Chain A
Amino acid sequence: MKFGIIVFPGTWSDRDCYYALNHTLGQTADYIWHTETDLSTYDCIILPGGFSYGDYLRPGAIARFSPIMASVERFAAEGKLVIGICNGFQILCESGLLPGVLRQNDHLQYRCQWTYLKVETTSSPFTTTCQPGQVLKIPISHYEGRYHADEATLFELEINNRVAFRYATPSGEVTQEANPNGALHNIAGIINKNGNVLGMMPHPERACEPILGSSDGNIIWESIIASIQRSTR
């Protein structure tokens, strides 16, 4: 099993994803420079966080035109797993692989803090090892993380169980106070129609060891590993 971590100019979560997967979880993960196009040897593609192209114009707006993105679209169309974290989520929305947009936080400030995520579905390949309603402690770090979509899209996401995570209190209540950026429906992460593309603002790669304050992020990686193992068996 092999993970591919895409590196755009300005990406910085690449190294943390690499650390979490190779060191903590004992997997194989490689960096892939954004000008490459061949993803055939990978089982899961990660679009990590950071400031691709300096977030100039709009986060993700330039990165979506990188040569590798056409390959990522094909990779996703083949039903293989793609996870976009933070800036990666923004790129997925910009490229149309996920619906909606990520707007500036409602308080108009950058925010780095721990958040608690209520797992809303355990049927996705990204959450299959979670317990229903489980709360994950995973940090955020962004300026543009307020999920927004029109009513019809939100309805579609909700009715089809495509909201993966919602900001919640440590005990799992979805409240306004627990929402760090004003995201609609407290949305922290969503899944595409086919269920193989996840975008999330919080950083699971940062919650990879107890000494860092939480290892809950590993549950998401372990779900991905379990799903790939199941599908290749």
Chain B
Amino acid sequence: MPVSKEVLDEIALSQEEYQLIVKQLGREPTAVELGMFGSLWSEHCGYKHSKALLKQFPSTGKHVMVKPGEENAGVVNIGDGLAVVFKMESHNHPSAIEPYQGAATGVGGIVRDIFTMGARPIALLNSLRFGPLSEPRNRYLFGGVVSGIAGYGNCLGIPDVGGEVYFADCYSANPLVNALCLGIAEADKLVKARASGEGNVLMLVGADTGRDGLHGASGLASRTFEEERELRSAVQVGNPFLEKLLIEACLELAKTDWIEGIQDLGAAGLTSSSVESASKGGSGIEIDVLKVPRREKGMTPYEVMISESQERMLVVVKRGYEDKVKALFDRYELRSDIIGHVTSDGIARIREGDNVVAEAPVALLTKPPVYRLRTRKPAWLDKLQSLDVKSIPDISLKKIAPTLLKLLASPNIACKHTIYRQYDHQVGNNTIILPGSDAAVLRIQGTSKAISLTTDGNGRYCYLNPFVGGVIAVAEAARNLACSGAEPLALTNCLNFGNPEKNDVYYQLKECIAGMSRACRVLKVPVVSGNVSLYNETKDEAIYPTPVVGMVGLIQDVERHCASGFKNEGDIVFLLGTPQAEDTSLGGSEYLSVIHGLVMGNLTIDLELERRLHRCCIDLISRGTINSAHDCSEGGLLACLAESCLANGHGFNSTNWRTDGRLDTALFGEAQSRIIVSVPPRLVSKLEKLAYKWQVPATALGIVAGTRLVIKDYVNISLEKMERAWLGGLDT
């Protein structure tokens, strides 16, 4: 059967890949087999272009229990017999087409990855990117995505505790929606996503299977798209109520010994869940599609196998326990059907009654080709990096206050309360640092510990210097955790890039991963899970290379944690880290973009200083020396001070601040490795001693005082004025 280009395009396989399938199978594949190969060999499921690069990530550490690719999510031991299970995943393309359902089902998918493993989900975070809100379509996407996340997450009773959002032109047609979920489990009671034991039963639980989400993995997530309308059927519709029932039922099931494994149905639906569990269990599977309950009549075996209908789970039930498992699901009013069984021949056999419609080796289905491309640095990048700072006039004194207000109102810096107040961030009685600080903090009930979570990834930095941008993504996440007092445990990531078949994009991907890996090694943070979202392009324009890092840290003593806001009048404010920002720190800054309309420059970071800075900050917090700590990032020193003021309504006063170099650099430059802390006067010498111990420069900036931000001779502005700008930044 000669296969047409249209057919292959629909499942995003190349002619060469098709020939490879024919060769290895020893025959032409059937239609169902072709659909299964298309899904499993897609970038989304098969990591064809990224696998070779992802190997660079360090993935071991003394606390790591489950590494990337081994299970649905990474697992880290936190002591007291407990483990945290977490992962981040993208739902970019569905959200671009149908923002509410795209974002909602993104939340649904990542939550399933967590409770599938027997862990109760206790936190959600979101990392979002949109085009400027001045465009009506971007406002529609933004509003839809935020309400989709709220609509789904709030219904589940999982607190949405943090995240980030950035706006830039390149995300206009291609918004990014990355969702992170973290769960907690007893370390010795994790459930595997494994189909093993010949004769064990495959049970499909939850929603009926419909035609929604056909070609989600192969089409939407694995190629660029131009005509959004024709792909609307590839977006699924979520039912959070059903998911909530699945959570409770599966967590109850996880406590029994009736099952061999559980796997959720995500991208590529029944195909990936059954074949991947068989692969992990070293077995084969046999499924009869006639036994799969349908939402509509006339569905073909092909459609049943690749449907991405939401809220479905595949449970591998030990033979003899079918009735018990079914009774458990019945109690939750959940439908459960036996659709097949585990075999020992290593074949994925799909039947429609007596007809065999697919019969392919599991090993072949799960072994897509791996591509490595030779790349070189694009010429345009040299141009972008060669910013001549001298060509930009320094800021004048009287412009400082209006510039600060403009930056505070910039959507990238402005308060995100209009977003997070739509999310339930307190359910579960664990959230002790609410959204708005550098990192969220949740106490762990029944222990004296807390965990800290953050997401970070500055696409503009990675665009200007993919390697250093990658380093900074990891460094900033760890710095945010340090500001809460937490030791980093591990990270998960979403790598959002353009079409990897292009030199420039592959170069960005390669460099970013190399940079992230370097930072992970120096800062000793293993990567335990992640996801790759490539082909984020529209009309040949790629997004900024945007790796998003989700990092989780541990606070040993829940009472010793910190937030970003100044707390007490009279506390002394110190800058920890690089005291004098270099002129190059204007490169890639929000200031340069908002005030001068430039996205240019290069970036640097001293990872050794960064590492010592984190040690120092964690040390200060664990000894109870400081009252606040805030990462100095977008908007530079002045925006950072303003945010620390605005958090709890305290002013700042400095009488002896001086700079030798450029004023704009000193106030708004985005030099890395800096944290602003406040300390009671009686503990200043202790702070200085610890800073000396860690060889971190500590510079006294001023004191917490009054209701204005005052730097004598430079700026004097009321909190009220700043707050108005900052709170209203996302209003449209």
Query: Which A residues fall within an 8 A CB radius of B?
Result: 9-10, 12-13, 15-16, 19-20, 23, 50-51, 53-56, 109-113, 139, 141, 143, 203, 205-206, 208-209, 211-213
Contact = CB atoms under 8 A, between A and B. Distances in A.
A16 B421 contact: no
Given A12-B157, A51-B154, A51-B155, A113 B421 contact: yes
Contacts of B345: none
Contact of A110 (B157, B422, B431): B422
Given A54-B155, A211-B432, A112 B424 contact: yes
Contacts of B421: 109, 111-113
Contacts of A20: 429
Given A111-B421, A211-B558, A141 B432 contact: no
Given A112-B424, A211-B443, A55 B155 contact: yes
* A16, A141, A143, A209, most chain B CB atoms within 10 A: A141
Interface string B146-159: 01001100111100
Is the interface on chain B under 10, 10 to 19, 20 to 34, or 35 or more residues? Answer: 20 to 34
Contact of B429 (A51, A54, A56, A212): A212
B427 A54 contact: no
Contacts of B422: 109-112
Interface string B418-438: 001111111111011010000
B244 interface: yes
Interface string B274-302: 00000000000000000000000000000
B523 to A, nearest CB: 29
Nearest to A208: B429
20 contacts: A9-B244, A9-B332, A10-B155, A10-B245, A12-B156, A50-B157, A51-B155, A54-B240, A55-B155, A55-B241, A109-B421, A109-B422, A111-B421, A112-B425, A139-B426, A206-B426, A206-B427, A211-B443, A212-B431, A213-B432
A109 B154 CA distance: 12
Contacts of A110: 147, 150-151, 154, 422-424
Contact of B244 (A12, A23, A143): A12
B333 interface: yes
Contacts of A56: 241
A142 B493 CA distance: 31
B427 A13 contact: yes
Contact of B245 (A9, A19, A208, A211): A9
Contact of A51 (B241, B426, B428): B241
Interface string B656-672: 00000000000000000
Contacts of A23: 445
B488 to A, nearest CB: 23
Nearest to A113: B421
A65 to B, nearest CB: 14
A177 to B, nearest CB: 14
A54 B424 contact: no
Nearest to A206: B426
A54 B428 CA distance: 18
B239 interface: yes
Contacts of B240: 51, 54
Given A109-B422, A212-B432, A16 B241 contact: no
B332 A141 contact: no
B591 to A, nearest CB: 32
A54 B239 contact: yes
B155 A141 contact: no
A54 B445 contact: no
Nearest to A112: B424
A62 B431 CA distance: 31
Nearest to A111: B421
Given A9-B245, A206-B427, 4 more contacts: A51-B244, A56-B241, A109-B421, A141-B427
Nearest to A205: B429
A206 B426 CA distance: 7
Contacts of A109: 147, 421-422
Contacts of B428: 15-16
A141 B154 contact: yes
Contacts of B244: 9-10, 12, 51, 54
A61 B422 CA distance: 23
B241 A53 contact: yes
Nearest to A14: B157
B113 to A, nearest CB: 20
Nearest to B158: A12
Interface in B611-643: none
B331 to A, nearest CB: 8
Contacts of A211: 432, 443, 558-559
A10 B240 CA distance: 9
Interface string B128-153: 00000000000000000001001100
Given A16-B429, A109-B422, A141-B426, A9 B241 contact: yes
Contacts of B147: 109-110
Nearest to A16: B429
B427 A10 contact: no
A20 B423 CA distance: 22
